[in-house]
Chain A
Amino acid sequence: MKDYKFIGKDITRIDGLEKISGAAIYGDDIDFGASMLHAELVQSTQAHAIIKSIDISEALKVKDVYKIFTGKDFPYKFGLYMKDRYIFAQDKVRFVGEQVAAVVARTPGAAKRAAALVKVEYEPLPAVLDQMEAIAEGATLLHPDLENYPHVPWFFPKPGTNVAHWRKTRKGNLEEGFAKADFILEDTYTVPRYAHCAIETHVAVGKFDYSERLTVWSSSQSPHTQRHLFAEALGLTHKNVRVIAPHVGGGFGGKAGVTMEIIPAALATKLKGYAVKLRYSREQEFINTYQRLGVVAKIKMGVDKNGEITALDHKIYWDAGAYVEYGANVVNAVGLSAIGPYRIDNVSIDSVCIYTNLPPGGAYRGFGYSEMLFGLESHVTRMAKTMGMEEIEFRKKNAIMEGDTTAYGAKMNPNGLIECIEKATAAIDWGNKPVPSDPNKVVGQGFSLLWKAPAMPPNASSSAFLKFNEDASINLIISGMDIGQGYQTVMAQIAAEVLSIPPSKIRVETPDTDRNPYEWQTVASHITWSCGNAVKKAALDAKEQILTLINRVYNYPIDDLYLEDEAVKCITDNKFKLLLKDFVVDGIMTSDGTFKGGPINARGMFMPEFSSTNGDPETSQGGHPNVHYTVGAAALNLEIDKDTGKMRVLKAALAIDAGKALNPDLVRGQITGGLVQGLATVLFEDMRYDANGKLMNPNFTDYKIPTAMDIPDEIIPIIVEVPQPDGPYGARGVGEHTMLPAAPMIANAVEDALGIRIKSMPVTAEKVAMTYLDSNRQQKNHE
């Protein structure tokens, strides 16, 4: 393997000093002093209702209130993949918490006092809070005008119903597949909604000046996407819209696309000369940003007596909420990939995106694969037991290999799935359970595979500018977002490797759409791969400019020149050494006193030109919607108190095929953090709605995320490296994947320990204890 200087090394993060010294600027730190106005929202108290009237007269009397806006002021639609959403509710509200009006005041306190005085009269409509009810005959329609909504060509809405999109994937012959099966297992799994819980809530500041220039500072994973949607929705030219994204205090998908940011952007256009800020409270963060979609999954799997999966029928019904402009793509992505990392010849997948009167579903780390894998990986373990094969062997037998066909007919990329399985099971000594710490406790082992592809439009692209400074330090100007994963550091490493400049001499700033080149979004775990390719190209461009210049001045053939230790050297003349800092801005003086060259400014761009969404609507065959999959495996030892149900993860190992871990320490950081987030969704969290569609736990008191005292005793991160041919240095993304196996792995371990199968998330202590109690009672009744 090639020896790299900076690639594959545990380079210290380049954003560490900023973040640890308190210097890092986040959205809430943007300050305009006295010219700052503060917005507060008036939000729907109804899950589904017609807005009869809005009375702002009392609110306007509050001291320091500047203006109040309602839906009438902004009759514009927006949306990422489907335009089904308004900046403020128009004639109808469709979920509790939907923004109906905004008070703009000189102080946040005044805005809040006034918002409480805005009177909204509603005429309630029947609400559908459950996706299965919403697709039943005669259900109330959320969007009677669905047929008129613009959407991307690969969405298939069903006007006249609550189905916003239906992804069908068909491969082989399902009936024949089941006919060949010796064992068939069929069951239903459910997953509730989840909240991202970045510690920083959404915040954005909009400023529109007298020259018609809109600037928005926003905590965002998607500054260019935001600029595009703001320009489209507000009727502005892109050149007059500027999105500046400071550091993001946690994203996890929640700050992808556009949610509340469009509100201060729109308000600003009517508040010329002022900056207007909207910062969500924690409660608003829970009730009116994207949430992870809820799922009901019906799985039917057939296996022959040799342990080969002969057929899979996977029907997934998604509770996508009141607006699906982003969430429908979650449904789409999983609809293509719900076979899991298995080679299955006969497949039917129906992934159905259903409108409900709950908050909009959207991107959440894992993009639907966590929800899908909870059912599938639970089912696979049970299937193995049903047919009497050890579950690891069963998985190995059916594991998808390079060149196998996916559900939609494309070929699987090179991958280290088998190596991941072997390393994860070895790490926890699979098959040998540790002895429980006391007689009240039992230990179970759980396992799960994972896979996920970036879900992107086929033309999602990345680009990079790279400019040298006088001292040969570099400004690398790119528009991905370091949401904590270490993106800035890794991009610096890539440029460093090409140009022989240490990463610590490379400055990567957060994006500004005026100055930084285009990036689609920092989502889909694609940024290392996609933007990494763009950065590498930019660095190669710079290198070419440098070597061409040296060739021009010194006449060494370009092929003989190379970069090392911040200098240009020549393989045929070991005395030749020209330090980059001596010429990358000022050029090189020639014998007659004239200069050649000039500032080295480079560019790079990457778009996956092989990707397409032209699959058949009825089968999904034919296109190449996914660029590649990242795979992995995880296993754990779980100790359970039989009486209280309380669980403790003794040891968890997660092996992931990173292609090439550009910075192994950062990959290990993703594994540890992602696995804990995944464990949180299965052991602790869920969003609970009452019968009126109101969230009952919109705070960290009752929707808490794990504390320092709630994490596994030991996490073993394992990196496997089977290179991705088109990845920078062979890398592919791992950020989201690390949380995917947690939920089925816990459910499988609970069954291993106690003999009970829990088919609904979360798998809380209470659920374990009560299910176990019930099963003991039933057993006694049988005896």
Chain B
Amino acid sequence: MKEICITVNNEKRYVSVEPNEVLLDVLREKLGVKSPKCGCERGDCGACTVLLDGNAVRSCLVLAIEVEGHSIITVEGISADKLSTLQEAFIQFNSFQCGYCAPGIILAVTELLEKHPHPTLEEIKESIAGNLCRCTGYTPIFDAIMALTKVDQHTTDAEKALSQDRNPALQ
């Protein structure tokens, strides 16, 4: 058992881990971060996606011990103050049904939009080709991202575009 320090959602966390513990289990069981989900345990489904130093990775295939000194962002991290415009677009376009794959997909797309603020449909598809969704048929996910990225990427404009949300609960 070794104590390591990981920056989880911008907070330094100290946790003791065994070498054979994967990041997903440590986040969920030892650090109480529950949004990364377990779907396949072998990197096929993407439900456990987190951002490791800004890159989307499969937390079920990363040993926790190696993340010492690195930064992890999960959906809790990007929802802390308020939802991101991407998350709001997901709600507006019904881009989820059961919601189990949503945290992973949101993080994969967050990475994509960091790197390519105006992705093509093809780039969008490729960015989430490793995130399986059984409910939506993906189309509503594309719709949300396309609508979001068609508007100017300046945050204020994007927020404006989404502010005509139909759900008063979001405002």
Residues of A near any B CB (own CB < 8 A): 10-26, 28-29, 31, 109, 196-201, 247-252, 279, 281-282, 483-486, 502, 504, 665-666, 669, 672-677, 699-701, 704-709, 711, 715
> How far, in whole Å, are A701 and B139 apart by their CA atoms in the complex?
23
The count of A-to-B residue pairs whose CB atoms sit within 8 angstroms is: 182
Encoded as 1 (CB less than 8 Å from any A CB) or 0, chain B from 123 to 165 comes to 0111011111111111111100000000000000000000001
> How far, in whole Å, are A249 and B134 apart by their CA atoms in the complex?
10
Of the residues B38, B94, B103, B137, contact of A13 by C-beta under 8 Å = B94
Of the residues A198, A282, A665, contact of B100 by C-beta under 8 Å = A198
Of the residues A29, A197, A485, A665, contact of B34 by C-beta under 8 Å = A29
For B79, the chain A residues whose CB sits under 8 A away are 20-23
For B125, the chain A residues whose CB sits under 8 A away are 708-709
For B131, the chain A residues whose CB sits under 8 A away are 708
Instruction: Determine if B87 and A21 form an interchain contact, defined as CB atoms under 8 angstroms apart.
Output: yes
- Top 6 closest pairs, chain A to chain B, by CB: A484-B97, A249-B100, A19-B99, A22-B35, A676-B137, A700-B44
Known: A199-B37, A672-B140. A700 touches B98 (CB 8 A): no
Known: A12-B165, A17-B170. A198 touches B134 (CB 8 A): yes
Q: In the assembled complex, how far is the CB of residue A480 from the closest CB belonging to chain B, in whole angstroms?
A: 14
Q: In the assembled complex, how far is the CB of residue B131 from the closest CB belonging to chain A, in whole angstroms?
A: 7
> How far, in whole Å, are A512 and B169 apart by their CA atoms in the complex?
25
Q: In the assembled complex, how far is the CB of residue A387 from the closest CB belonging to chain B, in whole angstroms?
A: 36
Instruction: Determine if A673 and B37 form an interchain contact, defined as CB atoms under 8 angstroms apart.
Output: no
Instruction: Determine if A198 and B98 form an interchain contact, defined as CB atoms under 8 angstroms apart.
Output: yes
For A200, the chain B residues whose CB sits under 8 A away are 37, 39, 47, 98, 100
For A11, the chain B residues whose CB sits under 8 A away are 166-167
Instruction: Determine if B47 and A199 form an interchain contact, defined as CB atoms under 8 angstroms apart.
Output: yes
Instruction: Determine if A699 and B40 form an interchain contact, defined as CB atoms under 8 angstroms apart.
Output: yes
Q: In the assembled complex, how far is the CB of residue B17 from the closest CB belonging to chain A, in whole angstroms?
A: 13
Q: In the assembled complex, how far is the CB of residue A427 from the closest CB belonging to chain B, in whole angstroms?
A: 15
For B166, the chain A residues whose CB sits under 8 A away are 10-12
Instruction: Determine if A485 and B97 form an interchain contact, defined as CB atoms under 8 angstroms apart.
Output: yes
The closest CB in chain A to the CB of B105 belongs to A708
Encoded as 1 (CB less than 8 Å from any A CB) or 0, chain B from 81 to 111 comes to 0010001001110101111111100100000
Residues of B near any A CB (own CB < 8 A): 20, 28-29, 34-35, 37-42, 44-45, 47, 74-76, 79, 83, 87, 90-92, 94, 96-103, 106, 124-126, 128-142, 165-170
Instruction: Determine if B137 and A673 form an interchain contact, defined as CB atoms under 8 angstroms apart.
Output: yes
Instruction: Determine if A665 and B94 form an interchain contact, defined as CB atoms under 8 angstroms apart.
Output: yes
> For A14, A22, A31, A249, which residue has the most chain B Cβ atoms within 10 angstroms?
A22
For B140, the chain A residues whose CB sits under 8 A away are 669, 672
For B35, the chain A residues whose CB sits under 8 A away are 22
> For A23, A484, A699, A704, which residue has the most chain B Cβ atoms within 10 angstroms?
A484
Instruction: Determine if B126 and A247 form an interchain contact, defined as CB atoms under 8 angstroms apart.
Output: no
For A13, the chain B residues whose CB sits under 8 A away are 91, 94
For B141, the chain A residues whose CB sits under 8 A away are 708
For A502, the chain B residues whose CB sits under 8 A away are 168
Q: In the assembled complex, how far is the CB of residue B27 from the closest CB belonging to chain A, in whole angstroms?
A: 11
For B97, the chain A residues whose CB sits under 8 A away are 250, 483-486, 669, 673
Q: In the assembled complex, how far is the CB of residue B79 from the closest CB belonging to chain A, in whole angstroms?
A: 4
Known: A17-B91, A708-B129, A715-B137. A484 touches B39 (CB 8 A): no
Of the residues A12, A196, A247, A708, contact of B167 by C-beta under 8 Å = A12
> How far, in whole Å, are A201 and B39 apart by their CA atoms in the complex?
6
> For B96, B124, B139, which residue has the most chain A Cβ atoms within 10 angstroms?
B139
> How far, in whole Å, are A16 and B102 apart by their CA atoms in the complex?
10
> How far, in whole Å, are A471 and B26 apart by their CA atoms in the complex?
41
Known: A198-B100, A485-B97, A502-B168. A20 touches B87 (CB 8 A): yes
A-B CB contact pairs (8 Å), 29 listed: A10-B166, A12-B91, A12-B170, A17-B170, A19-B98, A20-B75, A20-B99, A20-B106, A21-B76, A22-B34, A22-B75, A25-B34, A28-B38, A198-B98, A199-B45, A199-B47, A201-B38, A252-B134, A279-B38, A282-B45, A484-B97, A484-B98, A673-B135, A699-B40, A699-B44, A700-B42, A708-B141, A708-B142, A711-B139
Of the residues A19, A199, A715, contact of B134 by C-beta under 8 Å = A199
For A249, the chain B residues whose CB sits under 8 A away are 37, 39, 98-100
> How far, in whole Å, are A174 and B101 apart by their CA atoms in the complex?
50
Q: A13-B91, A699-B40, A711-B139 are in contact. List 20 more A-B contacts (CB 8 A).
A: A16-B96, A17-B170, A19-B99, A21-B87, A28-B38, A199-B47, A199-B100, A199-B132, A200-B98, A249-B37, A250-B97, A282-B44, A483-B97, A484-B99, A485-B97, A486-B94, A673-B134, A673-B137, A700-B40, A707-B130
